[in-house]
Structure 1
Amino acid sequence: MPVKTTPSVFVIEDDFAVRDSLVLLLRSQGLRARGFASGVEFFANLPTDLVACVVTDLRMPGIDGIEVVRRLGELRGDAWPIVVITGHADVPSAVELMKAGVTDFIEKPFEPQRLVETLKGCVSRMHQVGTQMEVRADIDRRLAQLTARERQVFDALAAGLSNKEIAARLEISPRTVEIFRAKVMTKTEAPNLSALVRMSLGLV
């Protein structure tokens, strides 16, 4: 079974005092938090976490929050939800980012507890997303062990074909299908045909 991953929270903030206090606050609430002084530093040391939450200030030198959101969208899709911290004058931009898929924006000055609760909600959802992604990765690992012919047999079995129908489709004997079927079941670690079908659907 896949090992459960605890999502991280990455704080991108150029003000050291704000960044440090946010990281300490999040850690005090039991969250895994790490700070970055800028968007440039963040992307130069881009974490490899499967899932994570990102908190970014909107106005920063070099790579601003809008560019952070754009780049993360290209690199991670919606696997990394983003919370934007913004000043009053930046609210229209933050609203546009919300429409583009940002999870939330928090206006300065903000109540620390609001940020904590928002991120805890993100982490909770990320647990579910992370589990799904890990399951998919585990299935892909098993399927990668199949030879081209074994994959053909797997696909045919998942489609509900009988050994006889598979033999006719692949122009091999039913006995040969049985041999390939046994190899498929072993390599995919599927205990039965039902499990094999669920695997083809990305389930366990």
Structure 2
Amino acid sequence: MKSLNEQLNDIKVVPVIAIKDANKAVKLAKVLVENGLPCAEVTFRTEAAAEAIRHIREAFPDMLIGAGTVLTPQQVDNAIEAGADFIVSPGFNPTIVKYCQQRNVTIIPGVNNPSLVEQAMEMGLRTLKFFPAEPSGGVGMLKAMSAVYPIKFMPTGGVKPSNVKDYLALPTVLACGGTWMVPNDLIDNEKWDELATLVKQVADVVA
């Protein structure tokens, strides 16, 4: 059984999804799996998140599923009960980190400066989300932090086709999170063929 880090490193790009209708989750997951990105970070930015995770887990038991934008202990509970493999938060909240550790679920919290990295390390974390990546200094900032901290990063926020390879070229980057291959309008309008094309393009680029 591969570790979470190994799975993320294999996939390289994690589609970050804000799905409004949980009934569309399985069709979306099918597009991701069949076109080379068998992973999703389903964000709790919508009311449908937990139900969407549950549907995906039932349909694709082996798919790697993260719960994103998790801000409260209740959302942690909902994510775990729905079948999420790991938790992602936009910032570093020690209360949520401790709660995830108590629930024995991996959390990848967001950081964007050295002080937050050190606080996360103090709590035993060695894999962190770099967010928002581009506004926080992008590849240059990551290079600087990677030079001094033994951390693996998952950059998210402003990552796109034109810079994803620059991030992935850094030895400390496990995978990048992105939304460009799963735009909300295509999901809302069930344009699965167009989504499949975008997903396959990403999978081919990072293969």
Q: Which has the higher contact order (CA 8 A, sep 6+)?
A: 2
> TM-score, normalised on structure 1?
0.34
Q: Which has the higher helix share?
A: 1
- Which structure has the bigger radius of gyration? 1
Q: Which has the higher strand share?
A: 2
